[in-house]
Protein backbone atom coordinates (compact mmCIF):
# COMPACT_ATOMS: atom_id res chain seq x y z
CA UNK A 1 0.00 0.00 0.00
CA UNK A 2 2.90 2.33 0.65
CA UNK A 3 3.82 2.33 -3.05
CA UNK A 4 0.27 2.47 -4.35
CA UNK A 5 -0.50 5.90 -5.86
CA UNK A 6 -4.16 5.34 -4.98
CA UNK A 7 -3.27 5.33 -1.28
CA UNK A 8 -1.73 8.78 -1.51
CA UNK A 9 -4.78 10.02 -3.41
CA UNK A 10 -6.99 8.68 -0.62
CA UNK A 11 -5.11 10.40 2.18
CA UNK A 12 -4.22 13.59 0.27
CA UNK A 13 -6.95 15.71 1.98
CA UNK A 14 -5.76 14.64 5.44
CA UNK A 15 -2.11 15.18 4.47
CA UNK A 16 -2.78 18.70 3.21
CA UNK A 17 -4.88 19.54 6.26
CA UNK A 18 -2.08 18.27 8.50
CA UNK A 19 0.49 20.45 6.73
CA UNK A 20 -1.74 23.49 7.08
CA UNK A 21 -2.36 22.71 10.75
CA UNK A 22 1.38 22.47 11.42
CA UNK A 23 1.93 25.82 9.71
CA UNK A 24 -0.86 27.34 11.79
CA UNK A 25 0.66 26.00 15.00
CA UNK A 26 4.07 27.45 14.19
CA UNK A 27 2.73 30.89 13.31
CA UNK A 28 0.14 31.20 16.08
CA UNK A 29 2.48 29.78 18.71
CA UNK A 30 5.29 32.17 17.68
CA UNK A 31 2.88 35.10 17.81
CA UNK A 32 1.44 34.19 21.22
CA UNK A 33 4.90 33.37 22.57
CA UNK A 34 5.87 37.03 22.11
CA UNK A 35 2.91 38.26 24.18
CA UNK A 36 3.49 38.45 27.94
CA UNK A 37 1.31 36.69 30.51
CA UNK A 38 1.18 37.41 34.26
CA UNK A 39 2.61 33.98 35.13
CA UNK A 40 4.50 31.07 33.65
CA UNK A 41 2.84 28.05 32.09
CA UNK A 42 3.71 25.94 35.14
CA UNK A 43 2.27 28.55 37.50
CA UNK A 44 -0.92 28.84 35.45
CA UNK A 45 -1.39 25.06 35.44
CA UNK A 46 -0.74 24.92 39.18
CA UNK A 47 -3.24 27.73 39.76
CA UNK A 48 -5.96 25.92 37.80
CA UNK A 49 -5.26 22.56 39.45
CA UNK A 50 -5.28 24.13 42.92
CA UNK A 51 -8.65 25.81 42.36
CA UNK A 52 -10.02 22.52 40.99
CA UNK A 53 -8.90 20.74 44.17
CA UNK A 54 -6.33 18.61 42.33
CA UNK A 55 -3.42 19.11 44.70
CA UNK A 56 -2.23 15.53 44.12
CA UNK A 57 -1.47 16.14 40.45
CA UNK A 58 2.23 16.89 40.01
CA UNK A 59 3.67 19.22 37.39
CA UNK A 60 7.00 18.25 35.86
CA UNK A 61 9.24 19.64 33.16
CA UNK A 62 9.83 17.27 30.25
CA UNK A 63 12.25 17.38 27.30
CA UNK A 64 11.17 18.21 23.77
CA UNK A 65 9.39 20.96 21.87
CA UNK A 66 5.63 21.08 22.52
CA UNK A 67 5.85 17.64 24.15
CA UNK A 68 3.30 18.70 26.76
CA UNK A 69 0.87 16.04 27.96
CA UNK A 70 -1.04 14.75 30.96
CA UNK A 71 -0.29 11.22 32.18
CA UNK A 72 -3.51 9.84 33.73
CA UNK A 73 -1.76 6.76 35.15
CA UNK A 74 0.89 8.68 37.08
CA UNK A 75 -1.35 11.73 37.67
CA UNK A 76 1.43 13.95 36.32
CA UNK A 77 1.15 16.96 34.07
CA UNK A 78 4.34 17.18 31.99
CA UNK A 79 5.22 20.47 30.32
CA UNK A 80 7.98 21.17 27.82
CA UNK A 81 10.72 23.52 29.00
CA UNK A 82 9.48 26.58 27.11
CA UNK A 83 5.88 26.08 28.26
CA UNK A 84 6.92 25.29 31.83
CA UNK A 85 9.14 28.38 32.22
CA UNK A 86 7.78 30.94 29.76
CA UNK A 87 5.52 33.77 30.91
CA UNK A 88 3.66 34.04 27.61
CA UNK A 89 0.10 33.64 26.36
CA UNK A 90 1.19 30.59 24.37
CA UNK A 91 2.61 28.92 27.47
CA UNK A 92 -0.39 29.54 29.73
CA UNK A 93 -2.78 28.43 26.99
CA UNK A 94 -1.04 25.10 26.41
CA UNK A 95 -0.49 24.50 30.12
CA UNK A 96 -4.16 25.24 30.83
CA UNK A 97 -5.18 22.78 28.10
CA UNK A 98 -3.17 20.01 29.77
CA UNK A 99 -4.65 20.98 33.15
CA UNK A 100 -8.02 20.54 31.47
CA UNK A 101 -7.13 16.89 30.85
CA UNK A 102 -6.35 16.46 34.55
CA UNK A 103 -9.77 17.90 35.38
CA UNK A 104 -11.38 15.49 32.92
CA UNK A 105 -9.58 12.61 34.60
CA UNK A 106 -10.69 13.68 38.07
CA UNK A 107 -14.30 13.96 36.91
CA UNK A 108 -14.17 10.66 34.99
CA UNK A 109 -15.11 12.44 31.78
CA UNK A 110 -16.62 9.61 29.71
CA UNK A 111 -14.79 10.19 26.38
CA UNK A 112 -11.46 10.32 28.26
CA UNK A 113 -12.23 7.06 30.07
CA UNK A 114 -13.08 5.41 26.75
CA UNK A 115 -10.01 6.87 25.06
CA UNK A 116 -7.69 5.62 27.80
CA UNK A 117 -9.24 2.16 27.52
CA UNK A 118 -8.72 2.17 23.74
CA UNK A 119 -5.05 3.21 23.80
CA UNK A 120 -3.72 -0.36 23.83
CA UNK A 121 -5.76 -1.67 20.91
CA UNK A 122 -5.09 1.50 18.91
CA UNK A 123 -1.33 1.25 19.46
CA UNK A 124 -1.32 -2.42 18.50
CA UNK A 125 -3.75 -2.05 15.60
CA UNK A 126 -1.94 0.83 13.92
CA UNK A 127 0.92 -1.46 12.88
CA UNK A 128 -0.44 -4.98 13.25
CA UNK A 129 -3.55 -4.18 11.24
CA UNK A 130 -1.55 -2.99 8.23
CA UNK A 131 0.82 -5.97 8.49
CA UNK A 132 -2.08 -8.44 8.49
CA UNK A 133 -3.71 -6.80 5.47
CA UNK A 134 -0.48 -6.86 3.47
CA UNK A 135 0.27 -10.42 4.57
CA UNK A 136 -3.22 -11.49 3.57
CA UNK A 137 -2.80 -9.85 0.16
CA UNK A 138 0.53 -11.63 -0.34
CA UNK A 139 -1.01 -14.99 0.57
CA UNK A 140 -3.32 -15.06 -2.45
CA UNK A 141 -5.81 -12.62 -0.98
CA UNK A 142 -6.43 -14.47 2.28
CA UNK A 143 -9.61 -12.68 3.32
CA UNK A 144 -9.47 -13.93 6.90
CA UNK A 145 -6.16 -12.13 7.46
CA UNK A 146 -7.28 -9.09 5.50
CA UNK A 147 -10.49 -8.62 7.47
CA UNK A 148 -8.62 -9.28 10.73
CA UNK A 149 -6.20 -6.51 9.79
CA UNK A 150 -9.02 -4.14 8.87
CA UNK A 151 -10.75 -4.89 12.16
CA UNK A 152 -7.57 -4.12 14.08
CA UNK A 153 -7.02 -0.87 12.19
CA UNK A 154 -10.64 0.09 12.93
CA UNK A 155 -9.49 0.41 16.54
CA UNK A 156 -7.23 3.28 15.46
CA UNK A 157 -10.18 5.06 13.83
CA UNK A 158 -12.29 4.53 16.94
CA UNK A 159 -9.52 5.95 19.14
CA UNK A 160 -9.13 9.03 16.96
CA UNK A 161 -12.87 9.68 16.88
CA UNK A 162 -13.13 9.45 20.67
CA UNK A 163 -10.03 11.61 21.06
CA UNK A 164 -11.59 14.59 19.27
CA UNK A 165 -14.17 15.47 21.96
CA UNK A 166 -11.48 14.90 24.62
CA UNK A 167 -9.16 17.47 23.06
CA UNK A 168 -11.88 20.00 22.23
CA UNK A 169 -13.31 19.77 25.75
CA UNK A 170 -9.88 20.28 27.33
CA UNK A 171 -9.38 23.42 25.23
CA UNK A 172 -12.83 24.74 26.13
CA UNK A 173 -12.11 24.17 29.82
CA UNK A 174 -8.76 25.95 29.46
CA UNK A 175 -10.22 29.03 27.78
CA UNK A 176 -13.07 29.33 30.25
CA UNK A 177 -10.87 28.87 33.32
CA UNK A 178 -8.17 31.30 32.17
CA UNK A 179 -10.72 34.10 31.75
CA UNK A 180 -12.76 33.23 34.82
CA UNK A 181 -9.68 33.23 37.05
CA UNK A 182 -8.31 36.44 35.55
CA UNK A 183 -5.15 34.91 34.11
CA UNK A 184 -5.98 36.42 30.71
CA UNK A 185 -8.52 39.01 29.60
CA UNK A 186 -10.86 38.76 26.64
CA UNK A 187 -8.39 40.43 24.27
CA UNK A 188 -5.57 38.10 25.30
CA UNK A 189 -7.91 35.12 25.03
CA UNK A 190 -8.05 35.75 21.29
CA UNK A 191 -4.38 34.69 20.96
CA UNK A 192 -4.79 31.74 23.31
CA UNK A 193 -7.77 30.58 21.28
CA UNK A 194 -5.77 30.78 18.03
CA UNK A 195 -3.04 28.54 19.46
CA UNK A 196 -5.47 25.95 20.82
CA UNK A 197 -7.58 25.95 17.66
CA UNK A 198 -4.48 25.35 15.54
CA UNK A 199 -3.50 22.46 17.79
CA UNK A 200 -7.02 21.03 17.48
CA UNK A 201 -6.64 20.97 13.69
CA UNK A 202 -3.81 18.46 14.03
CA UNK A 203 -6.17 16.06 15.80
CA UNK A 204 -8.78 16.58 13.10
CA UNK A 205 -6.15 15.82 10.44
CA UNK A 206 -5.03 12.67 12.26
CA UNK A 207 -8.63 11.49 12.55
CA UNK A 208 -9.30 12.16 8.88
CA UNK A 209 -6.15 10.29 7.86
CA UNK A 210 -7.17 7.25 9.93
CA UNK A 211 -10.67 7.25 8.40
CA UNK A 212 -9.36 7.62 4.84
CA UNK A 213 -6.75 4.91 5.38
CA UNK A 214 -9.47 2.54 6.60
CA UNK A 215 -11.59 3.35 3.54
CA UNK A 216 -8.57 2.69 1.34
CA UNK A 217 -7.95 -0.70 2.95
CA UNK A 218 -11.58 -1.73 2.51
CA UNK A 219 -11.75 -0.51 -1.09
CA UNK A 220 -8.36 -1.80 -2.17
CA UNK A 221 -8.30 -5.20 -0.53
CA UNK A 222 -11.93 -6.30 -0.26
CA UNK A 223 -13.51 -4.84 -3.37
CA UNK A 224 -10.94 -3.65 -5.82
CA UNK A 225 -9.05 -6.94 -5.94
CA UNK A 226 -11.96 -9.32 -6.45
CA UNK A 227 -11.63 -9.13 -10.15
CA UNK A 228 -7.94 -10.09 -9.89
CA UNK A 229 -8.64 -13.51 -8.41
d(CA 111, CA 67): 22
d(CA 116, CA 123): 11
Name the catalytic one among 82, 98, 167, 188. 98
Which 8-state DSSP code applies to residue 108?
Answer: T
> If you write DSSP's letter for every residue of 34-77 in order, what string do you get?
TSB-SS-HHHHHHHHHHHTT-TT-EEEEESSSS--EEETTTTEE
Catalytic residue status for 98: yes
Tally the C-alpha atoms within 13 A of residue 16's C-alpha that lie toward its C-beta.
Answer: 6
Chain-centroid distance, C-alpha 7? 23
Q: Are 218 and 136 in contact (CB under 8 A)?
A: no
The Cβ of residue 11 has, within 10 Å, a number of other Cβ atoms equal to 18
Q: Which residues are catalytic?
A: 98
Amino acid sequence: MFFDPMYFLFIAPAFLLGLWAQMRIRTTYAQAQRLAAPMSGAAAAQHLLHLAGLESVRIEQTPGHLSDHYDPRAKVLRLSREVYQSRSLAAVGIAAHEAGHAMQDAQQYAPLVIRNAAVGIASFGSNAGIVLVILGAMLQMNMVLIWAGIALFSGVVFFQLVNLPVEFDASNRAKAQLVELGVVNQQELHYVRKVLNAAALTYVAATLQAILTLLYLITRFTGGRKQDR
